[in-house]
Amino acid sequence: MAVTVTELTPTTGVEISGLSGSRLVDPGVAAECRSALERRGVVIYREADVDDDELVAFSRLLGEVVPLPMGGHATHPEIQRITRDPSKSPLAAYRESTFHWHIDGTTEEVPNRATLLTARRIADDGGGDTAFANTFAAYEALSETERKELDGVRVVHSFTASQLLVTPDPSPKERAAWDRNPAREHPLVWTRRSGRRSLLIGATAGEVVGREAKEGRELLDRLLDWATRPEFTLRHRWRQGDLVIWDNTGMLHRALPYGEASARLMHRTSLAGEEEVA
């Protein structure tokens, strides 16, 4: 089958058809994937149909795979099952928070490098697409004055901030459980060794250091509205077997809402971070 490669928006996403199963588990394919990830942020292999062994093997060719002991997968501790069905994943109750724009691992010193997500079963209720917003492109499109205003600004990221979006009025017990997850302060603008810059924002961004809560919130909301404008975003409508990989360091992402009874089931692996936020 011929391989076709299509760039999806002026800044973001590349879709590759004609590569599936064991053909993906190849060092050359992985090198091209990493390069596309750097340039385009999101790489989509249409109907890749990788089984769990192939998903883990391909992930290992791309980077260091993070073990996910709470993933809910019986035989592959590297795989997390993404579903709202609590019989399939101990984290099913937290899925609703992924309906808000976020970046994974922002409460860690070094956020994950990338995420791989493959569709085992797609949603049957019209929801469940995955959307991406390119914060490299959003930062670059700010005016010079706006960029200067963000120099030196620091933000506190927490699990609590993301949960408050779903449950704004938690019980004291719920709140105390969330607060046990340590928060982390990071620069708002992440400058890479390569010189590229992205915005580190999203659901976990709770407060701006040294600013009144309202003023900080306004800045974070304004930047999130900006970064998620149509010109910086890409929406993926899943087909069963698709494999989507994104650069977690500069792509906000979210699932479009799907119901608690939805059949949607994704298998996910995560690649360890390679560069701390500076």
Specify the residue, 16 or 255, whose C-beta has the smaller distance to ligand SIN: 255
CA 1 to chain centre: 30
130 scored as a contact of ligand SIN (CB under 6 A): yes
233 scored as a contact of ligand SIN (CB under 6 A): no
98 scored as a contact of ligand SIN (CB under 6 A): yes
What DSSP element (H or E) covers 177? helix 172-179
46 scored as a contact of ligand SIN (CB under 6 A): no
Q: What are phi and psi of 217, to 5 degrees?
A: -60, -40
91 scored as a contact of ligand SIN (CB under 6 A): no
Q: Which two tokens stand for residue 243?
A: 């494999």
Sign, CA dihedral 95-97-100-106, equals negative
Kindly state the DSSP code that residue 126 receives in the 8-state scheme: S
What secondary structure, in 3-state letters, does 3-60 show? CEEEECCCCCCEEEECCCHHHHCCHHHHHHHHHHHHHHCEEEECCCCCCHHHHHHHHH
Q: Which two tokens stand for residue 260?
A: 């608690």
Specify the residue, 82 or 245, whose C-beta has the smaller distance to ligand SIN: 82
Give min distance, CB of 84 to ligand SIN, in A: 10
107 scored as a contact of ligand SIN (CB under 6 A): no
Strands in 54-134 per DSSP E? 80-82, 114-121, 130-134
116 scored as a contact of ligand SIN (CB under 6 A): no
Q: Which two tokens stand for residue 103?
A: 């970046």
Give min distance, CB of 227 to ligand SIN, in A: 16
Residues 173-232 that bind ligand SIN (CB under 6 A): none
253 scored as a contact of ligand SIN (CB under 6 A): yes
82 scored as a contact of ligand SIN (CB under 6 A): yes
What DSSP element (H or E) covers 139? helix 135-140
Specify the residue, 11 or 270, whose C-beta has the smaller distance to ligand SIN: 270
| Of positions 16, 29, 255, 271, contacts ligand SIN by CB under 6 A | 255
Give min distance, CB of 100 to ligand SIN, in A: 9
Specify the residue, 203 or 208, whose C-beta has the smaller distance to ligand SIN: 203
SS3 168: coil
249 scored as a contact of ligand SIN (CB under 6 A): no
Q: Which two tokens stand for residue 73?
A: 């997968």
Give min distance, CB of 90 to ligand SIN, in A: 16
What DSSP element (H or E) covers 160? helix 159-164
Give min distance, CB of 71 to ligand SIN, in A: 12
Give min distance, CB of 82 to ligand SIN, in A: 5
* Binding site residues, ligand SIN, CB under 6 A: 82, 98, 104, 130, 253, 255, 266
